[in-house]
Amino acid sequence: MNDVWTSYDSKNFVLEGISLSIDRGTNYAIVGQSGSGKSTLLKLMNGMMIPSKGTIKIDYVTPNMNNKKFKKMLHTIGYIPQSLGLIKNITVLENILIGALPRLNTIQSLLKRFPEHEIQEAKRIISLVGLSGKEERKAYMLSGGEKRRVAIARALMQKPTILLADEIVSELDHVTAHEIMNLIADAQKRMNLTAIMVHHDMQIALEFANRVAVIKEGHKILEIGIEGDSIVDFQTGNINTEEIMEMYADDTKK
C-alpha cells in the first residue's frame, strides 16, 4: 500500500497517506482505537473499496471488484468481517461449505450440491477448528467463540493465501480469545498464510503478530517488528514493550 488516502464522502479523509508492505507468510496486526480506520483498511485490501489516492497491490494486482484479474484471485482472500457474516438459519457444515462455492461449477453452485470430497474437506476443517460433533447445529445456536470458529473454518475452506480478520477476538473472554488466536496462528504457519488481523487490543497483537502497525485517526503512527519476545525494529529508534503499552494506553484515554 503506497500513500493511500480514502474518503467515504469525498470531503473528509478517513485514511491519510497510509503506506505499508506485508511479506507473504507474515502474521500482521493492525491496531487502533474505534473509528481510527482499521476496518476501512481491510476493505481496501479486499477490493470492497478503492482508494481516493495512492496505490494498493496484492501480488501485483490492484484490489478492485471491477478488475477481472482481482475478481479471479478474490477467492484466495479469506475475509472475516467484524459481524462474521454467518448465515444464522443453516448449519455449521453448510456455513463452512460456502467457502467452497467458488470451486463449484454453475449448476452445482446454483443447487448448492457439494461434491463428496468437499464435504469431507469441510469435516476435516471442522475437526481442525474444534467443532467436531457440532456439524448439524444451526449457526444461531452457537456461542461467540464457536461462531468465530465457524467463520475461520469457512475462510480456510476457501484454501486462502491471505486471511483478513476484523476484530475476531474482541468481545471474547481472555481464554477463548487466546484459543481462537492460537487456532489462527497454527493454520497460518501450516498453510503459510499471510494473516492480517485487526485488533483494538495492543496486548494480543504483541503476543501473536510478527509485525504490528498502529493506526490513529487515519494515520499510521508506528510500525514495529517482533521476533520472539523482543521488538527488533521501530521506525523512530529504540523502544521497549512497556513504552509501547504506555503510549498506546495514553492514546486510548483521549
Phi and psi torsions of 17, nearest 5°: 65, 45
Q: Which stretch binds Mg ion (CB under 5 A): 37-45, 63-71, 87-95, 132-140?
A: 37-45
| Residue 39 engages Mg ion in binding (rule: CB under 5 A) | yes
CB of 34 to Mg ion, least distance (A): 7
Q: Which stretch binds Mg ion (CB under 5 A): 36-44, 142-150, 176-184, 244-252?
A: 36-44
Q: Which residues pair with 30 in a beta bridge?
A: 198, 213
| Residue 40 engages ligand ADP in binding (rule: CB under 6 A) | yes
| Residue 252 engages ligand ADP in binding (rule: CB under 6 A) | no
| Residue 35 engages ligand ADP in binding (rule: CB under 6 A) | yes
Helix (H) or strand (E) holding 171: none
CB of 25 to ligand ADP, least distance (A): 25
Binder to ligand ADP among 31, 32, 70, 98 (CB under 6 A)? Answer: 32
The SS3 assignment for 222 reads strand
Cα(73)–Cα(68) distance, integer angstroms = 9
Nearer CB in complex with ligand ADP: 37/99: 37
The SS3 assignment for 213 reads strand
Nearer CB in complex with ligand ADP: 122/148: 148
Nearer CB in complex with Mg ion: 38/154: 38
Binder to ligand ADP among 2, 19, 21, 34 (CB under 6 A)? Answer: 34
Question: Long-range contact list for 9-12, CB < 8 A, 24+ apart?
Answer: 10/52
| Residue 37 engages ligand ADP in binding (rule: CB under 6 A) | yes
Cα(231)–Cα(224) distance, integer angstroms = 7
Binding at 40: pick from Mg ion, ligand ADP, none (beta carbon under 5-8 Å per type): ligand ADP
> What are the C-alpha distances in Å from 216 to residues 15, 35, 81, 200?
9, 9, 20, 11
Phi and psi torsions of 162, nearest 5°: -130, 135
Nearer CB in complex with Mg ion: 6/39: 39
Cα(196)–Cα(79) distance, integer angstroms = 10
| Residue 63 engages ligand ADP in binding (rule: CB under 6 A) | no
157 within 8 A of 96, measured Cβ to Cβ: yes
The grid coordinates of residue 198 equal 485487526
| Residue 38 engages ligand ADP in binding (rule: CB under 6 A) | yes
Where along the sequence are the contacts to ligand ADP (CB under 6 A)?
A: 8, 14, 32, 34-40
Where along the sequence are the contacts to Mg ion (CB under 5 A)?
A: 39
